A and B are shown apart, each in its own frame.
Chain A
Amino acid sequence: MSSKLELTRYPLQWLFPVLILVIVFTIYPFAYAIYNSFFQILLVLPTTPFIGLKNYMRVVVSPYFWESLVNTLIFAAVTAPVTVIISLGVARLLLTKFVGRGAVRALVLLPWAIPGSVAGILWLWIFHGQFGVLNALLYSLGIIRTYIQFLKDPLLAKICVMIAHVWTQVPFASVLLMAALTTINKELYEAAEVDGAGSFRRLISVTIPSAAGMLIIALIYELIIGITAYDVVYSLTGGGPGGATTLLSYYIWKESFTQLNFGTGSALGVLVALLTLALITTILKVIPNQIMVKE
């Protein structure tokens, strides 16, 4: 299709507002972060000597880094597909006619509007070990005799953080997928039905291929959000118990703003950026898609 279009000169008049923002608020700061990562920048010390790769060395030998890296990869690898699968179901449901659909459609969006830090507090109210709703409920039903410390157990705490995160992410992914599902040609479903395809078969051979572009966008978006997640953890567990729920972004934050070590914080940031970049380009290469613009 693009070959039909005539070659024009660079359309700066269309792009400049976005490009200026990209340069001032992404390229320049990222270059600055790379530059900082080669210096020892401790806010408590007046001098900032060049130390080469020492910041990176410091990161790579730190067990906390590896722990939070593994945490982050598991977190993103679990939450992104789970969010997309739930959202696909939600999108499908909200396109089915039923009584009260309008109200459900509006209510489903609400978690989207909740700041991550606030969502963390909301789920703290549910999982709290002294007065949490879940504990009170289980106790009242006679299932437990003493309260469970959900956020003090490493595994349970990880699951709690993931639930809270998925909860905030489902609405937006659902909107995206609803948009994609409505564009699917209904005749495809009818043809599949004539061929005797059951609902699972229709999902696999009609819905998923037809909505593939948006599914990949949603998956990538959720992976990025998962890898850079930060605020739910901040208010739900504070990264604990121990380092069990410390994610990379939270670790960068702690290194930069509580240890006041901007050099190492920058080195960490650069590493995370490279990791994300590698992951996303691999996905775009492996899964055939029409998302990225070509010349």
Chain B
Amino acid sequence: MGKKIFVYIAAFALLAFTVVPLLLVLLGSIIPDASILSFPPRWFTRKPTLAYYDYVFTGKIPTAYELRGAERGMITEEVRQVPRGMGVSASVAVMVMAVNMVFGSMAAYSFARLRFRGKAMTFSGIVMCRLLPAAALAVPFYLIVQALGLLDTKLALVLVHSILTLPFTVLILTVFFRSIPVEIEEAAKIDGANPWRTFWRITLPLSASSMVAVGLFAFMLSYSEFLYSNILGGSEKTRTLPVIMAALSTNTDVAWGMFMSGVFLTLIPTLVLVILVWNFVVEGIIFGGSKF
């Protein structure tokens, strides 16, 4: 019984740590700025408002800001790019996820199941890529992407985000593939299947959960990557959410509630993704784990 109570206390503490900051964002996006800025704090004396969200989607300026000139300056056009940025970020992230799942698993399979000269070197070469600080490579990246004629394209973002995620995908999947008993594959080999067939028909279906896990990892990293997206993007069609939000954050005049509504909106695509795949990942991991 004591253990049960401890579990609930731990679960409660965990929720407080992860979710409360997010609820505070929601709160910050619906209380008027005048309340937020009051001292001593009186947040709940004015009525909550959805005016900030209304502005983001329709461009209707909240009534509280229509009157005086100075306050009008706190409303910025930039926040209206958020819905479009959600689309850009999500589509780039889905492509990065696909690249990781297909190419990453192929490379990992060869490391887990084939024996060849230069294997250890190739493997460390790929995994060590991630050790280089992103800021140090920013300038060369820009010049390469420019030389390839890919500046301001989603493809450039997909390629760059893929190289940021692939080393880790390869590392994780290699470890996972090695944990699958070789005997299962050897049966297929005796039946005359070549490595490709064995890979697609046997190994991949067995590793569905870890594939989804690395896919999710790739999506999240791409969705939140800021440094390269900022340098390589440009026009509206390649401006990702982190770029838009960072631009907003340097604008010190922006109404805090407006800002918070933007932050809350960035959560939505991931929320949807997490709800769609999370149970599959967890159940997959658990059943996958007990299978071997």
Contact = CB atoms under 8 A, between A and B. Distances in A.
Interface stretch (A56-64, A126-134, A188-196): A126-134
Contact of A18 (B166, B216, B226): B166
A201 B158 CA distance: 46
Contacts of A131: 36-37, 39, 41, 256
A115 interface: yes
Interface string A92-110: 0111101011101111111
A183 interface: yes
B220 A6 contact: no
Interface string A115-129: 111101111011000
A291 B175 contact: yes
Interface string A7-22: 1111100110111011
Contacts of A130: 37, 39
Contact of A104 (B15, B160, B242, B292): B15
A172 B285 CA distance: 14
Contacts of A19: 122, 126
A22 B285 contact: no
Contacts of B104: 18
A273 B246 contact: no
Given A105-B278, A109-B274, A230-B134, A126 B217 contact: no
A44 interface: no
A276 B133 contact: yes
A228 B213 CA distance: 23
Interface string B259-284: 11001001101110111001101100
B170 to A, nearest CB: 7
A106 B24 contact: no
Interface residues of B, number: 111
Contact of B249 (A117, A230, A257): A117
Nearest to A2: B115
A249 B114 contact: no
A242 interface: no
Contact residues of A: prevailing secondary structure: helix
A247 B225 CA distance: 18
A98 B24 contact: no
A98 to B, nearest CB: 5
Contact of A136 (B43, B135, B160): B43
Contacts of A176: 172
B200 to A, nearest CB: 12
Given A117-B242, A182-B290, A293-B119, A110 B19 contact: yes
B51 interface: no
Interface in A103-161: 104-118, 120-123, 125-126, 130-131, 133, 136, 139-140, 147
B259 A121 contact: yes
B136 A265 contact: yes
Nearest to A179: B285
Contacts of A136: 41, 43
B3 to A, nearest CB: 9
B18 A273 contact: no
B271 A110 contact: yes
Given A1-B182, A235-B246, A270 B18 contact: no
Nearest to B102: A17
Contacts of B111: 293
Nearest to A223: B131
B122 A115 contact: no
A142 B249 CA distance: 31
B136 A230 contact: no
Interface in A16-66: 17-19, 21-22, 24-26, 28-30, 32-33, 36
A107 B15 contact: yes
A93 B14 contact: yes
Contacts of B168: 221
Interface of A: 1-2, 4-11, 14-15, 17-19, 21-22, 24-26, 28-30, 32-33, 36, 89-90, 93-96, 98, 100-102, 104-118, 120-123, 125-126, 130-131, 133, 136, 139-140, 147, 167, 170-172, 175-176, 178-179, 182-183, 213-214, 217, 221, 224, 227-228, 230-231, 234-235, 248-250, 252-253, 256-257, 262, 265-266, 268-270, 272-273, 276-277, 280, 291-295
